[in-house]
Amino acid sequence: MKQPTRQVSTKDSKDNPGSHLKSDIRIDQRKEQSEEEQKLKRNLDKIKHKIAIISGKGGVGKSTVTANLAMAFAMNGDKNKVGVLDADIHGPCIPKMLGLKGRTLIGGPDGLLSPVVGKLGIKVVSMDFLLPNDEAPVIWRGPLKMRAINQFLSDVAWGNLDYLFIDLPPGTGDEPLSIAQLIPDLDGVVIVTMPSEVSEAVVKKAVSFARQIDVPIIGIVENMSGFVCPECGAEVNIFRAGGGKRIAIDKSIPYLGSIPLDPNICSDSDKGLPFIAENKTSPATKIFFEIVRQIENFLQDKKPSERRR
Amino acid sequence: MKQPTRQVSTKDSKDNPGSHLKSDIRIDQRKEQSEEEQKLKRNLDKIKHKIAIISGKGGVGKSTVTANLAMAFAMNGDKNKVGVLDADIHGPCIPKMLGLKGRTLIGGPDGLLSPVVGKLGIKVVSMDFLLPNDEAPVIWRGPLKMRAINQFLSDVAWGNLDYLFIDLPPGTGDEPLSIAQLIPDLDGVVIVTMPSEVSEAVVKKAVSFARQIDVPIIGIVENMSGFVCPECGAEVNIFRAGGGKRIAIDKSIPYLGSIPLDPNICSDSDKGLPFIAENKTSPATKIFFEIVRQIENFLQDKKPSERRR
């Protein structure tokens, strides 16, 4: 059992020191817990909007969407007011996609960690910043992951932000559950899917998950839609088209847009250049800004009474 | 505390019934645990080779590779001797890929569940067979997932198999750790990657993971390599090429092959037809059979002394 940091003395502690010690420890543990909770709340209160990016299935380009959305919001008038929490403990990709590989989290005099600051003042926290190298795996079961995510939220000097985007790993396990529990006023989730039926089936689980844990769904983004051959211009649906839209209609969820499969998105992500910053006039960039507009509308339409807290 | 199924009586139990009850419960719990372990061992002993399919990152086509590998082994002389355990609790895809959607696991008189049997006698167990519908998410933290995987191994009548392929979810968390602990004589892992650097970085974690938990690496498969435009025949690298081979050389791991990006693989998977059974002469099918040959060589070369048990 953890040593209490401070003991509460009660009037008859001399008569029965054993039992009082136990109750003192309990009181102190509760106090510590409540201090932790207050620290978390203080941090979260300074962030206007918290949006999680989820998908039932991996590899649908969730991190690409998160990185480009953060960049789009920062370009759209929120310079220095956007943060990204990479909550994928086992496979953190955000630092690479935002060109921040090799950076580390540094502690400040206030005991809080400073997030790494990227282009347009985007503040980023990721497990990747704590690993000795790219090859080091994080072999952790659920409870340790929950603790790490808690610390990323409460022990980081996020400061005053307009938007915090949280990139969650695939599935409906420990990480998304932890985020939903730790952030009671989460504005909502953006669900990313790709146009294949196998993925569609899994994404429906993500929709049910959000509804079961009572988190608003902002909408669905379909990533990697029709591919245009750069040689002949033929449009080929490598993955079958239209799954995202179908789910959106089927489930009465806003459809935010389809991002076309563009080899530049992949090569830019590999180079750490968010696609939309490098290709300002491309169709995919226009779609990202359209998604920004729809998210802003969602947040404006949301009445305070609909907030979960 | 769980009620013991049977109590061990000792000579002086009358004098101090409380303390004996406690020790009886402890003995019975140990007995139960050891019975569980024996049941697991009995089941696993009847399976000649156990191979897990892993990847650091999701969406690289791990389930597609697993389904087609199982089919390739079954076509290659192991009819009725191949099993697939879908250990992806949150996003089970194997039933859909093997055309077994809507089937359920049925209990037998021996108290064991019967796996669902597909084409060529492939035996399949998946969380999907236990869910009421496609949209039901499994909102479980780690310990529950560990328990489910344990039951899938020990409470299922797998029977005598030559090969059991285990499709693991991405990451290095609860599921792969559970498999490594529950199957001490795991023959090895096949690592699936795709040709993008972001994925490459994450896959290196999978390599380190396998080495840290002391599981042999059979080799790396690169999925979704160069795409050939069906209209003009131009080869386009949608994802950057060569990552899998680079990792294999860099890490001194056998390179098992590159599976080209073929729209038929995706549409066949969606229809529940394993690609190789439907396209027997395609280049991708030839590569799957080449991978089978290499896995067989790996298993033959492995001396008994190298086995972990």
Q: How far off is chain A from B174, nearest CA to CA, in Å?
A: 5
A189-201 pLDDT, tens digit per residue, is 999 988 766 667 7
Which chain A residues are Cβ-neighbours of B267 within 8 angstroms?
240
Q: Does B95 touch chain A (CB under 8 A)?
A: no
Could you say which of B136, B170, B172 has the minimum Cβ distance to residue A139? B172
Q: Do B58 and A229 lie within an 8 Å CB cutoff?
A: no
Res. A152 pLDDT band, cuts 50 70 90: very high
Q: In this structure, what token pair is assigned to residue A178?
A: 């932890």
According to the 3-state scheme, what is the secondary structure of B125-163? EEHHHHCCCCCCCCCCCHHHHHHHHHHHHHCECCCCEEE
Report CA dihedral (A237, A240, A243, A246) to the nearest 10 degrees.
90
The residue among A12 and B79 whose pLDDT is bigger is: B79
User: For residue B95, is pLDDT > 90?
Assistant: yes
DSSP B304: G
Q: How many whole angstroms separate alpha carbon B179 and alpha carbon B176?
A: 5
Amino acid letter for position A180: A
Chain B within 8 Å of A129 (Cβ-Cβ)? no
ipTM at complex level = 0.76
* B114 pLDDT more than 80: yes
Q: What percent of chain A has pLDDT over 90?
A: 53
B198 near A CB under 8 A: yes
Burial grade of B203 (CB within 10 A; 0-12, 13-18, 19 or more): buried
- Nearest Cα neighbor of A103 from A113, A88, A91, A89 is A113
Res. A42: pLDDT tops 60: yes
**Does A213 have pLDDT greater than 50?**
yes
pLDDT winner (highest mean) among A160-169, B18-27, B127-136: A160-169
Residue B18's pLDDT is: 63
Cβ pairs bridging A and B (under 8 Å) = 200
With 70 as the cut, is the pLDDT of residue B154 above it?
A: yes
What's the rounded Cα separation, in Å, for the pair B22 and A181? 37
Nearest CA in chain B to A145: B173
Question: So what's the pLDDT on residue A12?
Answer: 43
Residue B214 or residue A265, greater confidence: B214
Cβ atoms < 10 Å from Cβ of A23: 14
Half-sphere exposure of B20 (CA within 13 A, CB side): 11
CB contact under 8 A, B141 and A142: yes
Overall pTM > 0.90: no
User: Given this model, what pLDDT does residue A134 score?
Assistant: 86
Q: Which of B174, B202, B227 sits opposite A91 (nearest CB)?
A: B202
For residue B207, list chain A residues with Cβ-Cβ distance below 8 A.
135
Residue in B69, B242, B9 with CA at minimum distance from that of residue A270: B242
Report whether B255 contacts B244 (CB < 8 A).
yes
Quote the CA–CA distance of B280 and B278 in Å, as a whole number. 6
Whether the CB of B206 is below 8 Å from some CB of chain A: the reply is yes
Compute CA A191 distance to the chain's CA centroid, rounded to the nearest angstrom.
11
B224-282 pLDDT, tens digit each:
755 555 566 566 665 566 677 888 888 899 999 988 777 676 677 677 777 788 888 88
**Mean per-residue pLDDT of chain B:** 84
Q: Regarding beta strands B123-126 and B82-86, do their DSSP bridges make them parallel or antiparallel, or are they unpaired?
A: parallel
Query: Three-state secondary structure along chain A?
Result: CCCCCCCCCCCCCCCCHHHHHHHHHHHHHHHHHHHHHHHHHHHHHCEEEEEEEECCCCCCCHHHHHHHHHHHHHHCCCCCCEEEEECCCCCCCHHHHCCCCCCCCEECCCCCEECEECHHHCEEEEHHHHCCCCCCCCCCCHHHHHHHHHHHHHCECCCCEEEEEEECCCCCCHHHHHHHHHCCCCCEEEEEECCCHHHHHHHHHHHHHHHHCCCCEEEEEEEEEEEECCCCCCEECCCCCCHHHHHHHHHCCCEEEEEEECHHHHHHHHHCCCHHHHCCCCHHHHHHHHHHHHHHHHHHHCCHHHCCC
| pLDDT computed for residue A110 by the predictor | 84
Name the token pair of B72.
């390739």
Per the structure block, which two tokens stand in for A197? 């039926």
Q: And the tokens for A103?
A: 């950076």
Phi, psi of A12 (to 5 degrees): -110, 35
Q: At what angle do helices B62-75 and B263-271 cross, to 10 degrees?
A: 80
On the question of pLDDT at A120 being above 90, the answer is yes
- Residues in CB range of A138: below 8 A, 6 or more apart: A89, A90, A127, A131, B172, B205
Tell me which residue in A57, A134, A140 faces B59 most closely, judged by beta carbons.
Answer: A57
Helix or strand holding residue B259 (H, E): strand B255-261
Could you tell me which residues come within 8 angstroms of residue B59 by beta carbon, excluding any fewer than 6 positions away? A57, A58, A59, A60, A170, A194, B170, B194
CA–CA distance, B173 with A142 (Å, rounded to integer)? 7
Q: How far apart are CA B62 and CA B194, in angstroms?
A: 10
Contact flag B89-A232 (C-beta cutoff 8 Å) = no
Residues of B in contact with A57 (CB under 8 A): 58-59, 91, 93
- Which residues are within 8 A (CB) of A140 and not within 5 positions of it... i.e. 6 or more apart? A89, A90, A148, B172, B173
Angle, CA of A165, B174 and B246, to the nearest 5°: 75
Mean pLDDT computed over B127-138: 92
Write out the H or E segment, with its range, that includes residue B226. strand B217-228
Q: Which two tokens stand for residue B58?
A: 């999701």
Average pLDDT over residues B201-210: 88
Nearest to A202 among B93, B209, B231 (CB): B93
For the stretch B4-48, pLDDT in tens is 333 333 344 445 556 667 777 777 777 777 888 999 999 999 999
Residue A308, pLDDT > 60, answer: no
Q: How many helices (H) and strands (E) does chain B have?
A: 10, 11
Determine contact: A1 vs chain B, CB below 8 A.
no
B250, B266, B269, best to mutate vs chain A, most A CBs in 10 Å: B266
Alpha-carbon gap, residue A134 to B307, rounded angstroms:
29
CB A195 within 8 A of CB A240: yes
Exposed e or buried b per residue across A250-285, where buried means at least 16 C-beta atoms within 10 angstroms of its C-beta: ebebebbbbbbbbbebbbbbbebbbbbbebeebebb
Average pLDDT score over chain A: 84
What amino acid is encoded at A125 in this protein? V
Interatomic CA distance for residues B162 and B49, integer angstroms? 6
Distance of residue B230 Cα from the nearest chain A Cα, in angstroms: 8
Tell me if B91 and A174 make a contact (CB, 8 A cut-off): no
In chain A, residues with a C-beta closer than 8 Å to the C-beta of B65 are none
